[in-house]
Amino acid sequence: MHHENPKINKNLRGRFAPTPSGRLHFGSLTCALASYLDVKAKNGSWIIRLDDLDSPRVQRGASENIIRTLEYFNLISDEPIRRQSDNLKLYEEIFGDLIRKNLCYRCECSRKRLQSLNNVYDYRCRNKKLSHEKTSVRLKISETNNIQNFIDNIQGNQETAHITSDFIIRRKDQIFSYEYAVVIDDYVQNITSVLRGADLISSTFNQLILHKSLNFNPPLYSHIPVVENKDGEKMSKSKNALMEFSKTKLSILYLALDWLGQNPPAELKNESNQIIIDWAKKNWCPKAIPQLLSKSITEQAQIL
Ligand code: GLU
């Protein structure tokens, strides 16, 4: 008989969705940890999803490496790990619906032309009714699906810094765009809480537009500052700490928690990953996460 853990909060589901284009570094591990804690602190579930659609970027062995690294830090998916490449049929089906409902159109503009527009699309192909397959496909933005702002759970109100214009949901090489696939995945996997790096804030507008176009209920979004390489005093301190880690394999989770503003007690430094995570679950304080959009830390070392 299958016993469900009665403590699991079914209404809270988060995920970490790395692209297997390389190994995890300190920044991506910090995102994984934060997304885990954000749901686990309230007994939610957390899943790992490999965003492996963009096959030209996928690196051999990277998925396995990422999973092993997460396991090493006791960041274990509560459900079987998902892969976007398993969902192609669903992406096709929903794509067919969008075409039939006339919510998207084919665009034959060259990369060079788009660059000259600074990537703000000027709707040139919107009414051309192109039908040949070797084109990209754009979603039509209208008054009914447009989004001008959203409330980020950590960063507060976010307004579009750029002009939203019809964006690509399927590329010329026929690969579905990241924005399109991620929206469908988050919806069908019942994700209620998305926590990721602030480099994706601008993409969140497009994602919310897609959720609206598809009549999906969007998750709550939280973005954490991107860990960057920069010279500065704070950095050299952290750098030493990370160097110490790389020699002794100690407490990178401690450093990540420190970076996330969680103020972990010094005694935790030499503790096991599980003890550090247990402390962090009990003491998780999203409000303490820095609001700045970038913060310095050591080089984005490839770990393990
Ligand atoms: N796969 C994306 C990346 O690695 C992140 C997807 C997401 O969290 O929405 O940058």
pLDDT at 229: 57
Q: Is 248 a member of any domain?
A: yes
Which atom of ligand 1 lies nearest, measured to the CA of 31? 8
pLDDT at 250: 52
Pocket test for ligand 1, best of 15, 36, 51 (most atoms within 8 A of CB): 51
pLDDT at 163: 73
Rounded Cα–Cα distance for residues 7 and 143 (Å)? 43
Which atom of ligand 1 lies nearest, measured to the CA of 51? 1
Q: Report the length, in residues, of the chain.
A: 304
- Does position 296 have pLDDT exceeding 60, yes or no? no
| Confidence class for position 240, pLDDT limits 50, 70, 90 | very low
Q: Which domain holds residue 280?
A: 13-84+225-303
Tell whether 93 and 59 lie within a shared domain. no
Tokens 């398993």, located at residue: 86
Q: Do residues 296 and 226 lie in contact, with contact meaning Cβ atoms separated by under 8 Å?
A: no
Which three-class secondary structure string do you get for 3-70?
CCCCCCCCCCEEEECCCCCCCCEHHHHHHHHHHHHHHHCCCCEEEEEECCCCCCCCCCCHHHHHHHHH
- Does position 4 have pLDDT exceeding 60, yes or no? no
Q: Do residues 32 and 70 lie in contact, with contact meaning Cβ atoms separated by under 8 Å?
A: yes
Q: How far is the CA of 31 from the centre of ligand 1 (A)?
A: 10
Is the distance from the beta carbon of residue 17 to the nearest atom of ligand 1 less than 6 Å? yes
| Confidence class for position 31, pLDDT limits 50, 70, 90 | very high
Pocket test for ligand 1, best of 196, 206, 220 (most atoms within 8 A of CB): 196
Rounded Cα–Cα distance for residues 133 and 89 (Å)? 18
Which atom of ligand 1 lies nearest, measured to the CA of 18? 4
Tell whether 121 and 132 lie within a shared domain. yes
Please tell me whether the overall predicted TM-score, pTM, comes out greater than 0.75 for this model.
Answer: yes
Tell whether 36 and 65 lie within a shared domain. yes
Is the distance from the beta carbon of residue 51 to the nearest atom of ligand 1 less than 6 Å? yes
Nearest Cα to Cα of residue 169 among 99, 112, 117: 99
> Regarding predicted confidence, which is higher, 240 or 159?
159
Tell whether 172 and 148 lie within a shared domain. yes
Is the distance from the beta carbon of residue 44 to the nearest atom of ligand 1 less than 6 Å? no
Q: Is 216 a member of any domain?
A: no
E strand or H helix that includes residue 107: strand 104-107
Tell whether 259 and 292 lie within a shared domain. yes
Tell whether 183 and 121 lie within a shared domain. yes
pLDDT tens profile 106-159: 999 998 898 888 878 999 999 999 988 889 999 999 999 999 899 999 999 998
E strand or H helix that includes residue 278: helix 273-283
Q: Is 174 a member of any domain?
A: yes
Tell whether 133 and 167 lie within a shared domain. yes
Is the distance from the beta carbon of residue 40 to the nearest atom of ligand 1 less than 6 Å? no
The DSSP symbol for 134 reads: S
pLDDT tens profile 33-69: 999 999 999 999 999 999 999 999 999 999 999 999 9
- Does position 249 have pLDDT exceeding 70, yes or no? no
Output the residue whose Cα is nearest ligand 1's atom 6: 17
Q: Is 197 a member of any domain?
A: no
Which atom of ligand 1 lies nearest, measured to the CA of 196? 8
Is the distance from the beta carbon of residue 52 to the nearest atom of ligand 1 less than 6 Å? no
pLDDT at 5: 67
The DSSP symbol for 118 reads: T
Q: Which residues pair with 297 in a beta bridge?
A: 229
Tell whether 78 and 130 lie within a shared domain. no
E strand or H helix that includes residue 169: strand 168-170
| Confidence class for position 6, pLDDT limits 50, 70, 90 | low
- Considering the chain, what is the average pLDDT of its residues? 87
| Domain boundary residue, one of 167, 187, 207 | 187
- Does position 237 have pLDDT exceeding 60, yes or no? no
Q: Is 291 a member of any domain?
A: yes
Tell whether 298 and 233 lie within a shared domain. yes
Q: Is 56 a member of any domain?
A: yes
Q: Is 194 a member of any domain?
A: no
Is the distance from the beta carbon of residue 20 to the nearest atom of ligand 1 less than 6 Å? no
Q: How far is the CA of 24 from the centre of ligand 1 (A)?
A: 12
Nearest Cα to Cα of residue 280 among 294, 260, 297: 260
- The CATH code of the domain that includes 177 is 3.40.50.620
Pocket test for ligand 1, best of 49, 54, 59, 178 (most atoms within 8 A of CB): 178
Q: How many domains does the chain have?
A: 2
Q: Is 130 a member of any domain?
A: yes
Phi, psi angles (nearest 5°) of residue 221: -105, 140
Tell whether 136 and 67 lie within a shared domain. no
Which atom of ligand 1 lies nearest, measured to the CA of 186? 9
pLDDT tens profile 73-117: 999 999 999 999 999 999 999 999 999 999 999 999 998 898 888
